[in-house]
Structure 1
Amino acid sequence: MLSDWILSIEGTPAGHDAALALALAAAFLHALFGALQKGGRYDPWTSRTAMDVAIFAISTPIALFVVPWPPAGLWWVLLGTVVIQFVYKALQGATYQRGAYTVVYPVVRGTGPLFTVLGAGIIFGEVFTATQWAGVAILIAGLFGLSAYNLAKITVDRATLAPALGLAVATGFLVAVYTTWNAFGIRSMADPFTFLAWFFMLTSWDFPLIAALRGRWRRPEASLVRLGLTGAIVAFGSFGSIMLATRLDSVGEAAILRETSTVFAALIGWVLLKEAVGPRRLILMSLIALGAVVVEFGG
């Protein structure tokens, strides 16, 4: 079984390499997930609701009938996950609604890893070397530089940028909270896929329920159904990959590597959302990638 293989390489060099691959996969998929929620013909709330419906429909039978059930003594971890994930999703949706994707996304991703590294040090006893901290500084400089450059250039959503940037910082803090909490959760359960299946099931009912209570349910268009299914598959890959990476290896390193998602986000914004990418942005994106490389090989 896949879970047996995950457990067999945990804490080994093979586990470290697998965590690296999973974190980079999560970076690309997370950027794609953000673009799916932000871009297209639907507002971020509608997009996320459609994705959550699909996530719930797929994950529920797996959680109930395929993977082992969570131990009774760890239900409090899942309850905390539900609360944290809801607050994160609400902040993320509000951020995307008010700010241009290429401005707010780097702020979210730049704030998150710093808090995550600090939290991983306190909770899991992880220690970064001086070289790795230099890598963190390079990556964050690239992220916030990219956001500042995009802020100076964009002509849309400028009236709501101030609150959007404040929400982006708050969302980044919640990224750190859920990353650290979920790392604790997936490490606490014997079978990592138990946590993953129940995570997806329990954190995907909130937006659909809110939409129902607000009378926003309607017969979905075919395009919205496709968006929901696509987003669900991407979410499984994105969140599943990063949580498995934190089970296999360092939480802080996985969090930093995931922030290369901003490079992927800029490319997606260029290709799919038709947002311009110039030489200065390419340099800043290279700084982000360089910072991640320094963190990975500076340990």
Structure 2
Amino acid sequence: MRAGTIALVLIAAAAHAIWNIVSKYKRGDTVLFVWAYTCASAVLCVPIGILLAVDGTQPATRQLAAASAVSAALHVAYSLTLQGGYDRADLGVVYPVARGTGPLLTMSSAILFLGERPTAAAVLGGLTVVAGIVVVTGNPFRRGGGSRPVRGVGWGAATGASIAAYTLWDSYSVASLHLAPVSYYSGTLVLQCLFLTPSALRRREQIASTVRRNAAPVLTVAVFSPLAYILVLSAMRTAPVALVAPLRESSIVVGSLLAWRLFHEAHLARRLVGAAAVLAGIAAISL
């Protein structure tokens, strides 16, 4: 991969870790929180998409609308699964498991369905990422741990599967259908808002209080979430998704360490060893 592409993905990884950490501070209803930051992201991105349509860079076509609709459904499933996991388990378990299983599933699917052929080093890197995740997560069946670690692994794996699904589809959309990343993701955000609005309206009495209490997290996620993903989409236009997907998971390192620092989640030494293994795996995949 070219140095510029790697830089894009690493910046995206840092932005992704930031918005995941901030979302842990949300209070109140999960659906309303996801709806609020998705709509705020749409307000920020849609004007850019309109400008690209006006100047002819990315016309508003049926293909763009259809691809965005599929992506929106997959991203809604991801967002709700992720927030559900954060509500029910430690971020330090859910986050690394999700960000590790996602790229491995993506790599496997890219090989089986997209015809990509990663090198032996990339395969070894994938296995190293798995090992690092196991170290970071620890033994989910340890005594005295209750059901939270097991629950966290389950939610993390489900989130990872949703990550793989939207990553593969979005890679196909920008690389094979040649849709402009900003326009494509703007359409996805608008449709996500529409998908989530009926659920939000059923909670209309809580909307004002939820948005007021979560103003800072909503605005932060609204900026960093689309920034992170548009950078990833841009990278996937020229680089294989089997390599981009694992590389962006360097966010695992930041997320796990910040979970220890901010939320006082235990086992720093184990997290550091696991993070080192994940970084080594990502380096091998990138090569």
> Which residue is equivalent to 1:198?
187
Structure 1 residue 264: Cα displacement: 0.8
2-structure distance, mates of 1:153, 1:43 = 32
One-letter code aligned to 2:41 = I
Q: Which residue of 1 aligns with 2:47?
A: 61
In the alignment, does 2:25 pair up with 1:36? no
Hey, what does 1:9 align to over in structure 2?
none
Query: What's the offset of the Cα at 1:31?
Result: 1.7
Matches within 5 A, 1:1-299: 16-42=2-28, 44-67=30-53, 68-148=58-138, 152=142, 158-187=146-175, 188-215=177-204, 216-219=206-209, 224-276=214-266, 278-297=268-287
Shift in Å, 1:117 = 0.5
SS in 1 for 2:263: coil
SS in 2 for 1:260: helix
SS of 1:232 mapped into structure 2: helix
Distance 2:271 2:139 in 1: 7
Q: Distance in 2 between matches of 1:262 and 1:283?
A: 13
Deviation at 1:222, TM superposition (A): 5.0
Q: What residue identity is the alignment partner of 2:161?
A: F
Larger deviation, residues 203-212 vs 118-127: 203-212
CA offsets 1:131-179 (integer angstroms, 9 cap, x no match): 2111111111101221125885996xx4454444323212111110100
Amino acid at match of 2:6: L
Residue ranges of structure 1 left out of the alignment (5+ in a row): 1-12
Distance 2:210 2:203 in 1: 16
Give the 3 Å change call, closer, same or farther, for CA 93–222 of structure 1 in structure 2: closer
Q: Kindly tell me the number of residue pairs found equivalent between the two proteins.
A: 281
The one-letter amino acid paired with 1:198 is G
- 8 Å Cα contact 1:29/1:235 also seen in 2: yes
* Contact 1:135–1:293 (8 Å) recurs in 2: yes
Q: State the Cα distance separating 1:250 from its structure 2 match.
A: 1.4
On the 8 A contact 2:45/2:182 being kept in 1, the answer is: no
Gapped regions of structure 2 (runs ≥ 5): none
Contact 2:260–2:268 (CA under 8 A) maintained in structure 1: no
TM-superposed deviation, 1:75: 3.0
Among all aligned residue pairs of Structure 1 and Structure 2, give the percentage whose two residues are the same amino acid: 25
- Between the aligned partners of 2:211 and 2:184, the Cα distance in structure 1 is 32
Q: CA deviation at 1:256?
A: 0.7
Distance between the aligned counterparts of 2:8 and 2:266, measured in 1? 29
Offset, 1:87: 1.5
- Write the deviation string for residues 254-275 of structure 1: whole angstroms up to 9, x where unpaired: 1111111110101221333233
CA 1:247/1:151 → structure 2, altered by over 3 Å: closer, same or farther? farther
Q: Distance in 2 between matches of 1:199 and 1:181?
A: 12
Residue 281 of structure 1, CA deviation: 1.8
CA RMSD of aligned residues (A): 2.5
In structure 1, C-alpha distance between the alignment counterparts of 2:50 and 2:96, rounded to whole Å? 37
In 2: Cα distance, 1:35 partner to 1:154 partner: 26
Shift of 1:235: 0.6
How far apart, in 2, do the equivalents of 1:88 and 1:154 lie?
A: 30
CA-CA distance at 1:45 after TM superposition: 3.9
Partner deviation per Cα, 1:67-114 (whole Å, 9 max, x = no partner): 433432343222211221122222112211111110111111121111
Q: What do residues 184-223 of structure 1 show as CA deviations (whole Å, max 9, x unaligned)?
A: 1112135333213222332244334422223332256655
